[in-house]
Amino acid sequence: MTSIETKKQKDKMMTAIFTGGAAFAVILLIAFVLYVVVSGVSGMTPQLLSFSPTGLGNMFFNTIYLVVLALVASTITGIPAGIFLAEYAKKGRITHWVRMAVETLASLPSIVVGLFGYLVFIVMTGSQWNLMAGALAVSILTLPLVTSVTEDALRNLPPSYRNGSLGLGASHWQTIWHVLLPACFPRIMTGLILAAGRGFGEAAALMFTAGMSTDIDWTNWDITATSCPLNPFRPGETLALHIWALRTEALHADAAQQAQPYQTQQGERLAPHGRMVHHITPKEDKKDHRYQSSQDHCADMAQKLEQHGVDLFPNSFKFVHNRLLDCSFF
């Protein structure tokens, strides 16, 4: 067997190995996607997709609305910054530090940006959690991406674009606006789509800025009202925040039954977290004085939270109040 035939056999073997690995990865990915889609569609109901307090429609609208606001903020700041770095900034120490700052901003953790947004957009402005604060926090996370994509797109254009426009008598700004930016439009749109994906999946930054409640009235279109869907200064829970809340804060459906073994001989109950609490049988007489005291306790908690700027909407407060009573954790 000659050396040429040996090399051909090795080439065929390596081609088969790489092709098989790629095919396995694609099949595995398709299997995961099909499993998620089939499982999700089988459990989907019209009530789940509705815009009622128990549906996901309001959270989905909040997510889309917040991403649009964040993209607007990123576009009006990131694209001009990229144009400046590519076309106007001269090479030097200042430009080097600016690029380093942009790259460092891209590596910040989401929780740090969320705390910064809470301090600047909520505390310093004296406002409550709102969609605009969440959008500005997300725009801080996506700003380095939009800036870098715009700068790289302008720098990678053929020099003939710029030289031909300037040779025909166009000014530098006319060349940028009418020649370079249209040629870079596909790459800039790719960067904006990636930035939108970051906004869709963001939860840590929005936890401190956008809020964890939603109270939308689809019949109220007064943009100054807190229940108007288009009011950017209202709290709005996104899908990512809702999934996080369900994973970390949701009560189990049979929590009351699970708490039964913790009863003691003195008629008291040891809660799952280890504290002794007075025994209240679930679903008992609603006129019991302990039920009334729990209502008063919830009302006092709501009043204290509202004094500290925490907005409790009637639906969410009523839901939490009823679940706590059912589980007998007072």
Residue 82 pLDDT? 93
pLDDT number for residue 301? 59
- Indicate the DSSP class of residue 85: I
Q: Using CA of residue 7, residue 10, residue 16, residue 19, what is the dihedral sign?
A: negative
Give the domains, in start order, of the chain with CATH numbers.
57-207 (1.10.3720.10), 253-327 (no CATH)
Decide the pairing of beta strands 268-270 and 276-278.
antiparallel
> If you count them, how many residues does the chain have?
330
Q: What is the pLDDT of residue 291?
A: 43
DSSP code for 322: H
- State the pLDDT at residue 305: 56
pLDDT value at residue 300: 62
Provide the pLDDT for residue 33.
93
CB 290 within 8 A of CB 278: yes
pLDDT of residue 177: 93
Low-confidence ranges of the chain (pLDDT < 50): 262-292, 294, 310-330
The model's pTM is: 0.69
User: Buried b vs exposed e over 46-75: b needs ≥16 C-beta within 10 Å?
Assistant: eeeeeeeeeebebbebbbebbbebbbebbb
Using CA atoms, how far apart are residues 285 and 255, in angstroms rounded to an integer?
19
pLDDT one-digit tens code per residue, 21-70 = 999 999 999 999 999 888 888 878 888 888 887 788 899 999 999 999 99
Torsion of CA 8, 10, 15, 20, to 10 degrees: 140
Distance separating alpha carbons of residues 147 and 89, to the nearest angstrom: 14
Greatest CA separation found in the chain? Answer: 97
